[in-house]
Amino acid sequence: MPRVKVLDHHVVYENPMPHLRSRHGYFPGMVQLPSGDLLSLFVIGEAFESVDTITYITRSHDLGRTWQLQGPLYDNSVVGFPTCDTMKATVLRDGSLVAIGYRFHRRNPDEAIGNPKTNGVQPADDIVSFSRDEGKSWSVPIVMPKYYPEAIELSGPCLELAPGELLAGGSLFPLWDGSMPSPHKGLLLRSKDQGRTWVDGGPYFTTPANRICPYETRFCRMGDGRLVAIVWAFDQQAGRSLNNHITVSHDDGRKWSAPMDIGVKAQASSLLWWKDEVLLGIHACREGQPEDIGLYLSVVDFSRDRWQMSAWEKIWGRVQPSGGKGFVDLCKTLKFGQPSLLRLANGELLATHWCVEDGQGRILTHRLQVEL
């Protein structure tokens, strides 16, 4: 039986002066740089959907025990109108960095991101930025091509398949009036030039009735080349979350399996290939009984593309359940999310996520030990 042990906890970001100004951290992503330093991109803003929420950079020289805030990824005043954004970084084989994400247009400062009357969202762009100095400086993000009326929820980092060949994807955002000109499905973007240009990569997640949205998609590449996508499956018609679903590809994402319910009652989740047929999952379980709410690590035997869980361990949980009548309403009540796993060069494992503790949005890490 695999054993999971929590070794320590650290704070990546918290507001140093909450009595002076409101600053909350959300939506982290973390990478290890060729130098060995860790770099995390996350957003800081005065509230969960505030107009001033933009991507910041922080780095660690001691494998995540202490962090130094660098500042915003870019000056978003160059856009020419108010926006808020979130981006995640990927280290490419040549050592350069590419960050992808999306930004919402915030022309009306009195409107939230989500429209509570329609469950739609503000207009949005998918964006990409580059760094060649380990994240010390970044290019001004460029807008990625839009192949559908809706923007794609690029909430996770892109994946490098071959040198310079990148894959990204996510669900489609409904328009402000709640309409969806395109069916509910997960859609890919591909690049063959390190992210400078992107083409429509087709779907990776479809259901017969086109009613399930694959929110918060995270892609994982296994040692044998298989791609596994895990999603927060949300039934738009019923207005509720389903179990996590996965899809699998054996040809670098050109063809995908039908979605598979893995029986994990979680929302935002992520995967990491550990070794051989073993996957590690990290899952934000935010609904149900209070004792079930928290962040969980799963150890999975993925032989023959089957989810066979051999361990399920709670690694953090000091929050109350979330709930709402629809997706926009639900998001107003979230207290933690966007977990991810990073295997360090020395073999250590870091779990990262955001949470609200003592009324403050914080970025946390948990150092884990996994014995198979």
Task: Give the per-residue pLDDT at 239.
Answer: 84
DSSP category for residue 76 = G
148-197 tens-digit pLDDT = 999 999 999 999 999 999 999 999 999 999 999 998 899 999 999 999 99
Contact status, residue 100 vs residue 130, Cβ threshold 8 Å: no
Task: Give the per-residue pLDDT at 332.
Answer: 62
CA dihedral 337, 343, 344, 346 (to 10 degrees): 140
Task: Give the per-residue pLDDT at 209.
Answer: 80
pTM: 0.95
User: In the block, which residue shows the tokens 């086109």?
Assistant: 210
Distances (CA, A) of 40 to 81, 123, 255: 26, 26, 32
C-alpha 231/C-alpha 91 separation (Å) is 23
Query: 10-residue block means of pLDDT along the chain (372 residues)?
Result: 92 96 97 98 97 98 98 97 98 98 97 93 98 98 96 97 96 94 95 97 92 95 98 90 97 97 97 98 93 95 98 87 57 85 95 95 97 90
Task: Give the per-residue pLDDT at 290.
Answer: 86
C-alpha 63/C-alpha 85 separation (Å) is 27
Task: Give the per-residue pLDDT at 329.
Answer: 57
Q: Residues near 103 by Cβ (< 8 Å), separated by ≥ 6?
A: 76, 79, 83, 84, 85, 86, 124, 125, 127, 141
Task: Give the per-residue pLDDT at 362.
Answer: 97
Query: Which residue, among 1, 4, 63, 57, has the nearest Cα to 282 in the 3D structure?
Result: 4
CA dihedral 258, 278, 60, 27 (to 10 degrees): 30
Task: State the distance between the two ends of the chain, measured CA to CA, in whole angstroms.
Answer: 7
Hey, what CATH topology would domain 3-371 get?
A: Neuraminidase (2.120.10)
Task: Give the per-residue pLDDT at 178.
Answer: 93
Query: Which residue, among 128, 260, 245, 270, has the nearest Cα to 189 in the 3D structure?
Result: 128
Tokens of 81: 């109108």
Query: Which residue, among 293, 279, 278, has the nearest Cα to 334 in the 3D structure?
Result: 293
Say whether 79 sits in a helix, a strand or coil: helix
Task: Give the per-residue pLDDT at 322.
Answer: 59
DSSP letters of 284-337? EE-SSSGGG-EEEEEEEE-GGG--EEEEEEEEE---PPP--SSHHHHHTT--EE
C-alpha 100/C-alpha 195 separation (Å) is 9
Distances (CA, A) of 262 to 33, 103, 169, 189, 233: 33, 31, 20, 25, 11
313-326 tens-digit pLDDT = 999 987 765 555 55
Q: Do the strands 294-301 and 278-285 form a parallel or antiparallel pair, or are they unpaired?
A: antiparallel
